[in-house]
Amino acid sequence: MRRTRGGIAYFTGGTGDSLLLLLHGLGATAAVWRRLLPLVEESWDGRWAAPDLRGHGLSVAEQPYGFGVHAADMAALATELGASRVTVLGHSFGGVVGAVLGGGWFGVDVDRVVAVGVKIDWTPDEVAGARRMAARSPQVFPTAAEAADRHLRLAGLRELVDPADPVARAGVRVADSGWAPALDPRAFGAVGPSVETVLARCEAPLRLAAGSGDPMVSLGTMQRVDPDAVVIDAAGHNAHWEAPEAVWRLLGAG
């Protein structure tokens, strides 16, 4: 795993100056793209990078954690890799970060953004709940397995990934008195701004998609922003894990 000058850890592969950015959701890490990466390596004509967003995994855990800061981190990554053009495939929170990057404010040319499972509508209670999460101290557990289980719950992957899986262990760090999820709880403080407004301000072509069983977003909700939004059959919120081939087809690359 490499690291940018600003402390963003990332995996990368491929060659060329056309970059595909794979941006994970809130609470997850770059490891969650494991099932999609074989398709990327087989079909993507260029370079790809899968970073741990700020406050996640092995990346720097420093505030602020707003959408714009994450997008600036991604612009710095693209610049350091010498990318002339960028395509974004983002899940949930990562899709919103991709849309901000595609707004044209960060000096990076974004060809398109594909955002899967983005929660567009947030109730005041949900925003308040995220703010409470941001105010909590990190939880420390006596075993790595318990910390991995907590990481999966925070990432919304508990029903899909075994705590012993390397994807789960990628979200765990050693703490002073045990093990903890490798997530700075303050990262939840990014929740609050209107997601619909953020998405609507994306200047790059934007495609929204979600699993047919995703409880966080509906086709009608997505169509307020993207009239051609796509529903992915037999998938829930984590369609990139549950139906990687279908997600990859959204890029027209497979």
Q: What is the pLDDT of residues 177-224, one digit of tens each?
A: 999 999 999 999 999 999 999 999 999 999 999 999 999 999 999 999
- Whether the pLDDT of residue 160 is over 90: the answer is yes
| Upstream peptide bond of 124 is cis (omega within 30 degrees of 0) | no
pLDDT tens digits, 20-33: 999 999 999 999 99
- pLDDT band at residue 253 using 50, 70 and 90 as cut-offs: low
Given this model, what pLDDT does residue 176 score? 86
Task: Classify residue 171 by its DSSP letter.
Answer: T
Please identify which residue in the block is written with the tokens 């977003």: 217
CA-nearest of 96, 44, 46, 38 to 67 is: 96
Residue among 133, 206, 143 nearest 172 (CA) = 143
Domains and CATH numbers, the chain: 2-124+189-249 (3.40.50.1820), 139-182 (no CATH)
- If you average pLDDT over every residue of the chain, what do you get? 96
Confidence of residue 252 (pLDDT cuts 50, 70, 90): confident
**Whether this model's pTM surpasses 0.95:** yes
User: Would you call 33 exposed, middle or buried from its count of C-beta atoms within 10 A (0-12, 13-18, 19+)?
Assistant: buried
Confidence of residue 75 (pLDDT cuts 50, 70, 90): very high
Overall average pLDDT of the 114-128 stretch? 98
Is the Cα torsion angle 241, 2, 94, 180 positive or negative in sign? positive
Residue range 229-238, pLDDT digits in tens? 999 999 999 9
Local confidence band at 254 (pLDDT 50, 70, 90 cut-offs): very low
